Amino acid sequence: LEGAPATATAEAAQDPVMAAVLGGMDPQQAIVSGGGAVPADSNGTPWNGKYIVASGNLLADFRANAAAEAQGRLQTARLYNMTDDPGVKEMLKFNLARDTVHQKQWLRAIEELQADGLESDIAPGALLDEEDQTHNNTIWHLSDGPDGNKGTWSSGEDRIEYLMDPKPLGGPGSAPKPDPELYATYSPTQDAMGTVKGKAQSAVNKLT
């Protein structure tokens, strides 16, 4: 209906689904479920168990929840800036406030966990003595920018060391030898080993 006369658009809008499309809405819920509640997001992606954050580590889970609330508030803020409707804005103001208090709840709960000694600043707090002690407090300079080492984390008593000229770890990489039993993995040298010429060359190599 793009570019159609206003009369044609108005007539088409008598159908609720077409009215939703013309208004910029996704009519999937109306088409698929007749407007009924479905376990799916606004794009029709079905809900699944991966949406549940449960690692078995309270500190890690609480931080994940705080991050999720921050993401929710970000989306609400974007919606707020997309509408001029006073009623919708009032509703979104309420939602912004609730996302704010939920973030505060999780952050305070994290403080309580740490005060109780349940976890350290690193989640999980186990195996800190077992990890590689050379690389647990360094960051490599891999940026073209000059300001990478100017953060507060790179100064003070508990600073993280910023390596301006890091060296590659280990030697040159090399691929393992191909399995001669697999199809199309023979190199010319390996293939020649099975010929008379190849066997003679192998015998000479052993003698020399």
Q: Token pair 């030898």 is at which residue? A: 177
Condensed to tens digits (0 to 9), the pLDDT of residues 79-121 reads 999 999 999 999 999 999 999 999 999 999 999 988 888 776 7
Cβ–Cβ < 8 Å for 160, 138: yes
Going from N- to C-terminal start, the domains of the chain cover: 56-128, 132-169
Predicted pLDDT of residue 25? 72
Please give the Cα distance from 83 to 24 (Å, whole number): 13
Give the predicted TM-score (pTM) of the model.
0.59
The set of residues, in sequence order, having a beta carbon less than 8 Å from that of 47 and lying 6+ positions away, is: 39, 40, 41
Share of the chain above pLDDT 70, in %: 86
Return phi, psi of residue 47, to 5°. Answer: -65, 145
Tell which CATH architecture fits domain 56-128: Up-down Bundle (1.20)
Is 69 or 5 the better-scoring residue by pLDDT?
A: 69
| pLDDT of the residue at 61 | 92
pLDDT one-digit tens code per residue, 118-143: 776 777 878 888 998 888 888 888 88
Say yes or no to pLDDT of 198 above 70: no
Q: What whole-number distance in Å separates Cα of residue 203 and Cα of residue 87? A: 90
Q: Is the pLDDT of residue 43 over 70?
A: yes
For residues 110 and 118, what is the distance between their CA atoms, to the nearest angstrom? Answer: 10
Instruction: Say whether pLDDT at 197 is over 80.
Output: no
Is the distance from CB of 60 to CB of 124 less than 8 angstroms?
A: yes
